[in-house]
Amino acid sequence: MMRQLWAVATKEFIDARRDPRSIMTLVGYALMGPVMMLAAFTALVENETRNEQQVTVQHIDRAPGLAQHLREAGYRLETLAPDIDAEQAVGDHDVILRPVDDFRRRMRAGQPAHIELLHDSSRTSSQSATRRVEQTIAAWSGELASLRLMALGVSPQAAQPVLTQRRDVASRADRAALVLSGFQVFVLIAAFFGSMHVSIDATAGERERRSLEALLVQPVSPLALVVGKWLVAALFGLLGVALTLTAMGLLLPMAPLGELGIRYQPTPMSMLTMFALIAPLSLLAAGLQMLASSYAKSFKEAQTYLSLLMFVPMVPAMAVSFLQLDAEPWMFAVPVLGQQQLLGDALRELSPDPLSWAVATATVVGLGLVCVIATARMYASERMLRGL
């Protein structure tokens, strides 16, 4: 049995190594995720910095005190000409600040004076810029209210009988894990993406090339045939995870995470720990893909099946995000979700719980073996039908 398995695995590995599509897909995806995250973080920091430096104002001469406060807060004021329609021009600016006509009169009378903030809520940059300007105006309004109370001989503290003090107890690692949640999805998908083309070529590809009969006629048991193909496909899944983690470890330190108040410096040991936590998932990914593609009659049909299967690692991440679920013990018994929780703990620099790791690993390996056995039975029945 072992000799048959080794012969099949060697043959499949040589075929996969010679297939440029498998290699290019593996390397391309491993670089795509880290590069996308690096670009996203860089763009986010640049956007945050740009929004803090500049704000567009119109008729700011109506509120000279506000203009001075904005400059002291670090804003660079870009003046919009009075004859320009601000509502039409808001598409070219993140936010336009405009005091109303009777702003000065209402301020002198001690009445609430209105300031318009024109923005486009469909743009993310406009939302963040508007939020910051609102906070700055609120701070200036609070200063004015305190001065008015002091002028009346009333302590400003009398207007604030209750003060809320917020204390963030999250560690740097916790904040980093929250920001790097997209990193988890890329690593989980890498286990599926790395083995996809190898699984298709070893099953539907053999059928389309009409070389499956030549394999079935060999003195090799269907189980040894499927297990050999399965191990090679899982090996490429492991390579995908390893390449993705390596690219993340090299590129993430280049991201300006410090500008976001996050410090994350991956180490070789942390990368090895993550690899050990995700590695068993490659066995399940290869098993599912071989089972699904064995039903396909052609390479393209198998690609369609496995493209839909790629959504499997995304579902747990989306469910946890939308439902705002906290980590529970039962999650480690759910395929993919358990690996996601383990990976999140690793990003928080927490030591993996041996029991949780054992449950998550046993689940994915067991289901992978079930898929392999089901595929082997399919090959055995096909062998019997053909009288081989």
pLDDT tens-digit map of 174-209 = 666 666 666 778 888 888 888 888 888 888 888 777
Going 336 to 337 to 341 to 344, the CA torsion angle's sign is positive
Whether residue 25 is predicted with pLDDT greater than 60 in this model: the reply is yes
pLDDT band at 386 (very low <50, low <70, confident <90, very high): low
Q: Identify residue 306 by its one-letter amino acid code.
A: L
Whether residue 131 is predicted with pLDDT greater than 70 in this model: the reply is yes
The Cβ of residue 295 has, within 10 Å, a number of other Cβ atoms equal to 13
pLDDT band at 371 (very low <50, low <70, confident <90, very high): very high
- Check residue 209 and give its pLDDT: 76
Q: What percent of the chain has pLDDT over 70?
A: 86
Whether residue 370 is predicted with pLDDT greater than 90 in this model: the reply is yes
Q: Which residue has the tokens 């529970």?
A: 328
Q: Judge contact between 262 and 175, C-beta under 8 A.
A: yes
Distance CA 33, CA 181 (A): 12
Q: What percent of the chain has pLDDT over 90?
A: 9
- Check residue 306 and give its pLDDT: 83
- Check residue 226 and give its pLDDT: 86
Residue bearing the bigger pLDDT, 176 or 239: 239
Whether residue 310 is predicted with pLDDT greater than 90 in this model: the reply is no
The Cβ of residue 229 has, within 10 Å, a number of other Cβ atoms equal to 30
- Check residue 173 and give its pLDDT: 62
Among 158-172, 199-213, 324-338, the minimum mean pLDDT is found in: 158-172
Mean pLDDT of all residues belonging to the chain? 80
Q: Identify residue 346 by its one-letter amino acid code.
A: A
Q: Identify residue 366 by its one-letter amino acid code.
A: G
Distances (CA, A) of 258 to 10, 36, 56, 147: 47, 18, 28, 37
What are the tens digits of pLDDT across the range 245-302?
Answer: 888 888 777 777 666 666 667 778 888 888 988 899 999 999 999 888 888 877 788 8
The Cβ of residue 278 has, within 10 Å, a number of other Cβ atoms equal to 26
Distance CA 56, CA 302 (A): 54
pLDDT band at 325 (very low <50, low <70, confident <90, very high): low
3-state secondary structure of 115: strand
What are the start-end ranges of the H helices in the chain? Answer: 2-18, 20-53, 64-72, 86-89, 103-108, 124-151, 172-179, 181-202, 204-208, 212-216, 222-251, 268-278, 281-294, 299-309, 314-323, 337-347, 354-385
Pairing of strands 54-57, 115-119: unpaired
Distance CA 231, CA 244 (A): 20
- Tokens for 95? 């936010």
Angle of CA points 364, 369, 373, to nearest 5°: 150
Whether residue 22 is predicted with pLDDT greater than 70 in this model: the reply is no
- Tokens for 164? 């809320």
Instruction: List the one residue out of 179, 170, 172 whose CA is nearest residue 255.
Output: 179
As a whole number, mean pLDDT of residues 97-121 equals 88
Q: Judge contact between 55 and 77, C-beta under 8 A.
A: yes
Phi, psi of 33, rounded to the nearest 5 degrees: -60, -55
Whether residue 134 is predicted with pLDDT greater than 80 in this model: the reply is yes
Distance CA 343, CA 274 (A): 6
The Cβ of residue 23 has, within 10 Å, a number of other Cβ atoms equal to 15
Q: Spell out the domains of the chain, with CATH numbers in brackets.
A: 2-42+172-385 (no CATH), 54-159 (3.40.50)
Whether residue 51 is predicted with pLDDT greater than 60 in this model: the reply is no
Per-residue DSSP letter, 158: G
Per the DSSP assignment, residues forming a β-bridge with 56 are 78, 96
- Check residue 362 and give its pLDDT: 93
